[in-house]
A and B are shown apart, each in its own frame.
Chain A
Amino acid sequence: MSLTNNKIKEKLVEKFGESVFGFEENYELLTFEAPKEINLKVLQFLYDDEELNFQFMTDLCAAHYPDNIGKELAVVYHLHNLKDNIRLRFKVYTSIQKPDVYTATQLFSAANWMERETYDFYGVNFVGHPNLKRILNVDEMDYFPLRKEYPLEDQTRLDKDDEMFGRGGTIV
């Protein structure tokens, strides 16, 4: 019998009780949340458990929710069980004032560069990372460009105004 989302959920709740919560299934992808303090315990359990076998990290990234006071930054882990070909998504939240999250590099070597990228763009401080410095942007950069305080578009640009497409617009 292959692994199912319900089975994964049962095993996690059995092990961690109310520390794992927020279970959702979006497009059949199991998603759940845990406090950031136990992120490594959850990842290790998913890795070691004989039935779960989530031993491949597909992706690690972050997201910024500025309205989510005290939990502004989410670190998202995408894991893959190669044996049963089943995936899951695991989130931990942290405040933006103290964005410290334990590093997953001891468990997944692939997390090294992905955590550097996440630090580069969102400023998540991965505690215990062996080489936490910028990876894609220039070293001199003194901000984290994918945080939401930077607007998606330059508010002064005119080239997307309707006037430019011959249908009215605001440029006289």
Chain B
Amino acid sequence: MNENETITQPEIFPGVVHPTAGGGILISSIDDVVNWARSNSLWPLVFGTSCCAIEMMSTASAKYDWSRFGFEVARATPRQADVIIIAGTIVNKMAPVLKRLYDQMADPKWVIAMGACATSGGPFFYNTYSVVKGADHVIPVDVYIAGCPPRPEALLHALITLQQKIKSGLTREQIRSGI
């Protein structure tokens, strides 16, 4: 099977059922099961630095309800969080704080850059004395979202994309080269 299909169409549960009398035996690999478990209970860190955080809160609340996908356990401490959503502008003074939060998160950990500011500095790319031009200057980013701010659907799409990335079990380089 082509790996790209695996990425775009994740299986519900990794493995095949080997039918036996009176039931069946599930055959899978431990890596796949672990990745499945990790991807379906991503706990985000409560972290928002500007207007993207408003959209993030909207995504968390009833209308968009990201708990449908397993993101509802937002933690206020980096030590219990799996994913940090950089929702907003990162200024020079915030950069060391962001790095420290990221360092305090336990492995495995993932990063989503939400919106134009976190991706590239966005509207502050020019004429600024204080804005970091992309959070990836500070910490490595897994998924980028376009938009200023992105709609809640876009954030959900990014979170689902991150789930697929985790489920695929591939490194960034493997995904990029299409192995």
Q: Does B93 contact A (CB under 8 A)?
A: yes
A134 shortest CB reach to chain B, Å: 9
By a beta-carbon cutoff of 8 Å, the part of chain B in contact with chain A is 92-93, 126-127, 129-130
User: Interface of A with B (CB < 8 Å)?
Assistant: 136-138, 141, 145, 150, 152-154, 157, 159
Shortest C-beta distance, A58 to chain B (Å), equals: 24
Question: In the complex the two chains form, is A153's CB within 8 Å of B93's CB?
Answer: no
Please state if B129 and A145 are interface contacts (CB–CB under 8 Å): yes
For the complex of A and B, list the 4 residue pairs with the smallest distance between their C-beta atoms, beginning with the closest. A145-B129, A138-B92, A138-B93, A157-B126
Also in contact, A153 and B126, with CB within 8 A (given A136-B93, A137-B93): yes
Q: Given the complex of chains A and B, what is the CA–CA distance between A154 and B130 in angstroms?
A: 14
**Residues of chain B with a CB closer than 8 A to A154's CB:** 126-127
- Contact partners of B129 in chain A: CB under 8 A: 137, 141, 145, 150
CB <8 Å contact, B130 and A159: no
Give complex CA distance A154, B125 in Å.
Answer: 10
Residues of B within 8 A of A145 (CB): 129-130
Interface residues of chain B: helix, strand, loop or mixed (majority):
loop
Q: Give bound CA distance, A136 to B129, whole Å.
A: 12
Cα-based distance from A166 to B139 in the complex (angstroms): 38
CB pair A153–B127 under 8 Å, yes or no, is: yes
Closest to A140 in B: B92
- When C-beta atoms are compared, the residue in chain B nearest to A151 turns out to be B127
**Whole-angstrom CA separation of A74 from B44 in the bound complex:** 46
How far apart sit A72 and B130, CA to CA, in the bound complex (Å)? 24
Task: Report which of A136, A150, A159 forms a contact with B126, defined as CB distance below 8 A.
Answer: A159
| Beta-carbon nearest neighbor of A143 in chain B | B129
Given pairs A136-B93, A154-B127, 4 additional interface contacts (CB within 8 A): A137-B93, A138-B93, A153-B127, A157-B126
A153 CA to B124 CA, complexed, in Å: 11
Give the CA-CA distance A153 to B125 in the complex, in Å.
Answer: 11
Residues on B with beta carbons closer than 8 Å to the beta carbon of A136: 93
Query: A159 CA to B126 CA in the complex, in Å?
Result: 10
Contact of A152 among B92, B93, B127, B130 (CB under 8 A): B127
CB-nearest residue of chain A to B95: A138
**Which residues from A are CB-within-8-Å of B130?**
137-138, 145
Shortest Cβ distance from A157 into chain B, in angstroms? 5
Contacts of A150 in B (CB 8 A): 129
Nearest-neighbor residue (CB-CB) of A134 within chain B: B93
User: What's the minimum C-beta distance from B90 to chain A, rounded to whole angstroms?
Assistant: 12
Interface centre among B92, B93, B130, by most chain A C-beta atoms within 10 angstroms, is: B93
Nearest-CB residue, chain A, relative to B128: A154
- When distances are taken between beta carbons in the complex, the residues of chain A under 8 Å from B126 are 153-154, 157, 159
The distance in angstroms between the C-alpha atoms of A27 and B127, with both chains bound, is 32
Q: Distance in Å from the Cβ of B72 to the closest Cβ of chain A?
A: 34
- For A157, the chain B residues whose CB sits under 8 A away are 126-127
Cβ-closest chain A residue relative to B96: A138
> Which chain B residues border A159 with CB–CB below 8 Å?
126
Cα of A23 to Cα of B15 in the assembled complex, Å: 82
For B129, the closest partner residue in chain A by CB is A145
A25 to B168, CA, bound (A): 68
CB-CB under 8 A from B92, the residues of chain A are 137-138
A138, A152, A154, A157: residue with the most chain B Cβ atoms closer than 10 Å: A138
Residues of B within 8 A of A141 (CB): 129
